[in-house]
Chain A
Amino acid sequence: MVQGLARDFATREILPRAAHLDHTGEFPKDLIQKAADLGLMGMTVPEQYGGAGMDPVSYVIAQEEFARASAGVQAIITVNNSLVCDPIVAFGSESQKRRYLPGLSSGKDLGCYCLTEPSSGSDAMSLRTSARLDGDAWVLNGTKTFVTNGVEATICIVYARSAPDPGAKGISAFIVEKQFPGIRVGKVEKKLGIKCSSTAEIILDSCRAPKENLLGEPGMGGRIALATLDGGRLGIAAQAVGIARAALEDSAAFARERRQFGQTIGEFQAIQWALADMATRIDAARLLMYRAAYLRRQGRPYTKEASMAKLFASEAAMWASHKAVQIHGGYGYIQDYAPERYFRDAKITEIYEGTSEIQRVVISRHVLGAR
């Protein structure tokens, strides 16, 4: 039934605007508010904090439906859910949960996740943003980059080095409100895809965050970041499965209608095999995603499985959307048809929340027993 709601919301509200949002890059504020009104912005947040109290399997099922309609809209929703609400639920104090989760769930606030820096991407634990305790406040200095929802977000999860220890040890996590002094939006990026979600620099210039806005304990930031990314990767796996499914559904419909050489192109074995391979890869990706989400629901470790799901699903989405463009021929290359959007949107799933290369590093460490 949750899937039904997500599908109805996606079909009724997101899909009719997906092409326009992609062409204009407009942030769909009203759509995000409607999603929040239905309980879709704080899906796994416990009910006592204003969330919907949903389990991780239902969560990925719903995210796939949003991404099937628009990967850009889903990116906005999944960042708020996975990368902002999740760490507050898992590591926040009772007062932090009460202060931030109701607003993030109701649409009053929107969250963003500030980990990446210009010189620390895949090597996230080498980040340089600093945090220094000054009386009753943390003073943060540094520049965060590629922050999804960076422009519209009101609540930021910021990672900074609070101790001289190298690597993950010296990193702490902070809940920073955009209204705190010293935080501002820098350069807003122009992107290949997921255009209706903003991607921006967040500049911390002696930003003062109250002492109690430390998330978890000092030095726990690295652990919080990695645990959050496990959940985030499920959201990106769902995004990739949704894009790939859209590519398949459009291609199957096109192959049934498009006639060349006196028959529909779906009657050519070249097209049939492409569709069969798309369908098979999508199902495999979805099952990997369900497995990881199921393990999470059981409270069991799922780092390797989340990486496998994200890796396989994102590469399946890239492959399937490439096939969709080819099946559509010239129509696949123009903006009146959706496959070119799927093709552009799919690429980011191989990059953010850990590139495919990083996923392989994570998986191989588990395989080799070197974690």
Chain B
Amino acid sequence: MDTIVCLKQVVDPELPQWDFAIDPATKRQVRMGKPLVISTYDENALELALQLKEKTGGKVTALTLGPQGEVKDAVRLALAMGADEAVVIDDPQSPQRLAADKASVLAAAIKRIGRFDLVLTGCESADWVERAMAPFLAEALGAACVTFISRAESRDGALSVRRTSEEGFQTVDVRLPAVLSVTSDEAIRPRLPKVKDIMAAMRKPVANWTRADLGAEDAGGAKGVEVKDVSIPERTTKVEFLEGEPAEQAEALVARLRALKIL
């Protein structure tokens, strides 16, 4: 099974809240000087791709789009974890673009890479949480699409996936080629690469393309979408005291927790 995994580099979401800042000019998160990591669910997608390769054979290609200097670490890490090939599309403006525009560039790159059975993405990015990349890619590639999958199993050349939905799980048989967006599961905990694999990854070749190489014109942003404003939600802490006897307090507490949809 030949798989292409799309990896996005984001500012480490584990950074403390006070390290999060928005650039008022670009209306985007400040990236300068912040540690970048592969977006959480994208790393899960990579792990799932590697597990599928271990079971069924084939090749895993890591694909990323962004300012070359920033994103090369993402594909190096993917190579260290076990990806066979890596492609970087250099786009210094990438952090300012939204999903539809980036999907058109990634789709062009996937077409240029050529044959594939699967394209995997994270179900959402850790910064913008648009949840749109997989459907956009599937549309552009004319492939099937299943979102929020937590497991995948190859059966007689077809693929059976477990999709997480609000009601529980759905098992979906998918025709290939397909684009899948991956959520989390206890079975897809991203592996830590070995030191010797990290050293080897530094020596592996990485293909470097530009938007121009792919014929993807710079439309200056996603068509029809304009980000008017972004802000950091204010966190407030409130304490409520429930009056009455213990039994009454317990009853009031349950009612309050239900109202807050915690229970």
B18 to chain A: which residues have CB within 8 Å? Answer: 256
Q: Does B198 contact A (CB under 8 A)?
A: yes
The 5 closest A-B pairs by CB, nearest first: A39-B195, A52-B195, A39-B194, A1-B198, A38-B194
A54-B16 contact given A1-B77, A37-B194, CB 8 Å threshold: no
Q: Verify if A207 is at the interface (C-beta below 8 Å from B).
A: no
* Smallest Cβ-Cβ distance to A11: which chain B residue: B14
Chain B residues contacting A38 (CB-CB under 8 Å) are 192-195
Cβ of B258 under 8 Å from chain A: no
A52 / chain B contacts, CB cutoff of 8 Å: 194-196, 199
Query: Closest residue of chain B to A53, judged by CB?
Result: B199
**Contact assessment for B195 and A4 in the assembled complex, using a CB-CB cutoff below 8 Å:** no
Decide if B195 touches A9 in the complex (CB within 8 Å): no
User: Does any Cβ of A come within 8 Å of B73's Cβ?
Assistant: yes
| Residues from 1 to 46 in A contacting B, C-beta threshold 8 Å | 1-2, 4-5, 8-9, 12, 37-40, 43
Further 7 A-B residue pairs, CB within 8 A, beyond A5-B192, A38-B193, A53-B199: A1-B201, A1-B202, A2-B198, A4-B73, A40-B195, A52-B195, A253-B16
Chain B residues with a Cβ under 8 A of chain A: 16, 18, 37, 73, 76-77, 80, 192-196, 198-199, 201-202
Return chain A residues, CB-CB under 8 Å to B198.
1-2, 5
Closest chain A residue to B37, Cβ basis = A4
Q: Inside 8 A of A40's CB, which chain B residues have their CB? A: 195
A47 at interface, CB cutoff 8 A: yes
Residues of A within 8 A of B77 (CB): 1, 4
Which residue in chain B gives the minimum CB-CB distance to A43? B195
Closest to B77 in A: A1
Looking at chain A, what size class is its interface with the partner chain? Answer: 10 to 19
Contact between B199 and A54, CB atoms less than 8 A apart: yes
A47 is contacted by which of B16, B73, B196, B201 (Cβ under 8 Å)? B196
Chain A residue numbers with a CB within 8 Å of B201 are 1
A2 touches B194 (CB 8 A): no
What CA separation (Å) do A299 and B183 show in the bound complex?
Answer: 48
Closest chain-B Cβ to A364's Cβ sits at a distance in Å of 37
Q: How far is the CA of A1 from the CA of B199 in the complex (A)?
A: 9
Q: Which residue of A lies closest to B197 (CB)?
A: A39
Whole-angstrom distance from the CB of B131 to the nearest CB of chain A? 26
Name the CB-closest residue of B to A2.
B198
Shortest CB distance B74–A (Å): 10
**A-B CB contact pairs (8 Å), 25 listed:** A1-B77, A1-B80, A1-B198, A4-B73, A4-B77, A5-B192, A5-B193, A8-B192, A12-B192, A37-B194, A38-B192, A38-B193, A39-B195, A39-B196, A40-B195, A43-B195, A47-B196, A47-B199, A52-B195, A52-B196, A52-B199, A53-B196, A54-B195, A253-B16, A256-B18
Output the least CB separation between A1 and chain B (Å).
5
Which one of B18, B37, B196 has the highest number of Cβ atoms from chain A below 10 Å of its Cβ? B196
* A114-150 interface bits toward B, Cβ cutoff 8 Å, 1 = contact, 0 = none: 0000000000000000000000000000000000000
Give A214 Cβ to nearest chain B Cβ, in Å. Answer: 31
In the assembled complex, the Cα of A174 lies from the Cα of B233 at a distance in Å of: 64
Q: Are B196 and A9 in contact (CB under 8 A)?
A: no
Chain A 52-73, CB-CB to B under 8 Å as 1, else 0, gives 1110000000000000000000
| Cβ–Cβ < 8 Å partners of B73 in chain A | 1, 4
